[in-house]
Amino acid sequence: MKVFISHSHQNGSAALALYERLTHRGVQAWLDTRDLATGVDWKQQVAAAIEAAGAFVVLVGPGAEPDSPQRFDWEQITDHEFYLDAKKPMIPVVIGSTDIPGFLGTRNALIVEDPSSIDFDSLAERIAAALGKPEDTIDQVKLERGRDAREQAVKSLREYSVELEREDVKRAALRGLK
Amino acid sequence: MSAAYERSVFINCPFDDDFQPLFHAIVLTVAAKGFTPRCAHETEGQADPRIVRIARGLMESKYSIHDLSRYQGQGAENLGRFNMPLELGIALGIRYLKEGTATSHNWVALVPEHFIHQKFISDLAGYDPPDHDQKPPTVIRKVAAWLSMQPDFMQPTPTGRTILDAYPNFCVLLDKEKADALGTLTWPSIIKSALVVVSGLPLV
């Protein structure tokens, strides 16, 4: 199983350190800075690597926004809905303070509070362990919370719909008065 | 309007007949993915100028979707339509003004295929906006993918395939609403129909 590592430029050295620790443990990993071939469109190569991946490690943060290459990774993952495949381990590694993108919201994240002192050996060990148990990468509590939130969202849409209809009736009545 | 800020997605797109199937595809996708679709139609008939109503709608929404498909001149005078870029500009302004606050804003621009936007709106360079082929299946896929990247997106969720399969049924309901209203399709009817379809979708 090939593990695709998604990272932004600012996490480039962390991604490389993690790649080395994972390969040292016998995990087959794919990292752009190691595996991209020259002379071939990088987007095609990344898209193919994501499609072929059996698992994902996604480095998120610090800060809110992914850069352009990582946004491309995420577009591939979400466009093809690989994140909905419960058989594919998807492990967010959250570095510092940041918002987690929604598609990773129900996955168990590994939290790194201090970006300046990351224990890569321990991190790689935890990732390697999680890769063997895809079901453990999903946070069932968050999934249950998501079900409740979904019900709430439909309720909210219903309330909005009722309000629109009420406004529509009011406007029609006003038009009648005119 | 009472729609929750975190769930509101303001849709800014052409309202002409040709675009209508894509507009409806966007509305259905937004609703199916657990958000509340909103647009300028919701305040039609109010006294405020349209641009004020749109700006207010954008301010009340955490997210906005802007379609830039209509970039070519139209009509006998071959005039360009600047409404969409103008309103995208408002969303950009809101995003940067509210960055780091509790009411932040995020937007996406949908553009035509083949990187043509790099010629008519080159200032979007670096954003890699999602492109589409003017067909509902692609629009559904692209909008669903963008929404799933937002922090307020929740799972379980219907798949893009599920939404696409539900789209014809949504169109049938809209046609019925339109016929019942003697040829007029109102925003409340669109939302009511979306609610009917979304309520029965299977989730994964």
Q: Is B40 on the interface with A (CB under 8 A)?
A: no
Range of the structural domain that residue A169 is part of: 139-178
Contact residues, chain B, for A168 at CB < 8 Å:
186, 188
pLDDT at B13: 95
On whether both A55 and A34 belong to a single domain, the answer is yes
Helices B50-59 and B83-98, axial angle in degrees (round to 10):
40
Please state, in angstroms and rounded to a whole number, the distance separating the CA atoms of residues B113 and B130.
9
Is B5-154 assigned to CATH 3.10.150.10? no
pLDDT, mean of residues B159-182: 97
On whether both A78 and A40 belong to a single domain, the answer is yes
pLDDT at B47: 86
pLDDT, mean of residues B51-63: 96
Nearest CA in chain A to B8: A157
Q: Which two tokens stand for residue B200?
A: 């029965």
pLDDT, mean of residues A44-52: 98
On whether both A6 and A88 belong to a single domain, the answer is yes
Q: Is B53 on the interface with A (CB under 8 A)?
A: no
| Separation in Å, CA B86 to CA A50, A143, B44, B83, B153 | 36, 39, 19, 5, 27
Q: Is B146 on the interface with A (CB under 8 A)?
A: yes
On whether both A127 and A152 belong to a single domain, the answer is no
pLDDT over 80 (residue B44):
yes
B76-110 pLDDT per residue, tens? 999 988 999 999 999 999 999 999 899 999 999 99
In whole numbers, what is the pLDDT of chain B averaged over residues? Answer: 94
Q: What CATH number is given to the structural domain containing A29? A: 3.40.50.10140
On whether both A103 and A158 belong to a single domain, the answer is no
Nearest alpha carbon to residue B29 among B174, B138, B187: B138
The confidence band for A152, taking pLDDT boundaries of 50, 70 and 90, is very high
The confidence band for A177, taking pLDDT boundaries of 50, 70 and 90, is low
On whether both A128 and A152 belong to a single domain, the answer is no
pLDDT, mean of residues B113-140: 91
Query: Do the Cβ atoms of A149 and B154 come within 8 Å?
Result: yes
Q: What percent of chain B has pLDDT over 70?
A: 100
Strand pairing of A2-6 and A55-60?
parallel
On whether both A133 and A53 belong to a single domain, the answer is yes
Domain positions in chain B are 5-154
Query: Do the Cβ atoms of A153 and B36 come within 8 Å?
Result: yes
Query: Do the Cβ atoms of B150 and A159 come within 8 Å?
Result: no
pLDDT over 80 (residue A64):
no
pTM of the predicted model as reported, rounded to 2 decimal places? 0.95
Query: Do the Cβ atoms of A157 and B146 come within 8 Å?
Result: no
Among B1, B35, B148, pick the best mutation site for testing chain A contact (most A Cβ within 10 A). B148
On whether both A144 and A130 belong to a single domain, the answer is no
On whether both A58 and A123 belong to a single domain, the answer is yes
Q: Which two tokens stand for residue A44?
A: 């095609």
pLDDT at B158: 98
pLDDT over 90 (residue B192):
yes
The confidence band for A178, taking pLDDT boundaries of 50, 70 and 90, is low
CB-CB: which of A71, A103, A150 is closest to B128? A71
Work out how many domains chain A is built from and give that number: 2
Of B22 and A169, the structure prediction assigns the larger pLDDT to B22
A70-86 pLDDT per residue, tens? 999 999 999 999 999 99
On whether both A76 and A124 belong to a single domain, the answer is yes
The confidence band for B71, taking pLDDT boundaries of 50, 70 and 90, is confident
On whether both A33 and A53 belong to a single domain, the answer is yes
Q: Is B166 on the interface with A (CB under 8 A)?
A: no
Contact residues, chain B, for A156 at CB < 8 Å:
3-4, 7, 36
On whether both A126 and A150 belong to a single domain, the answer is no
Query: Do the Cβ atoms of A102 and B2 come within 8 Å?
Result: no
Contact residues, chain B, for A70 at CB < 8 Å:
none
Q: Is B154 on the interface with A (CB under 8 A)?
A: yes
Please state, in angstroms and rounded to a whole number, the distance separating the CA atoms of residues A6 and B41.
40
CB-CB: which of B36, B42, B149 is closest to A78? B149
Three-class SS state of B63:
strand
The confidence band for B2, taking pLDDT boundaries of 50, 70 and 90, is low
Q: Where are the alpha helices (DSSP H) in chain A?
A: 12-24, 32-35, 42-52, 68-79, 120-131, 140-177
Q: How many CB pairs below 8 A link A and B?
A: 109
pLDDT at B95: 96
Three-class SS state of A87:
coil
CB-CB: which of B148, B152, B195 is closest to A157? B195
> Is the Cβ–Cβ distance between A122 and A90 less than 8 Å?
no
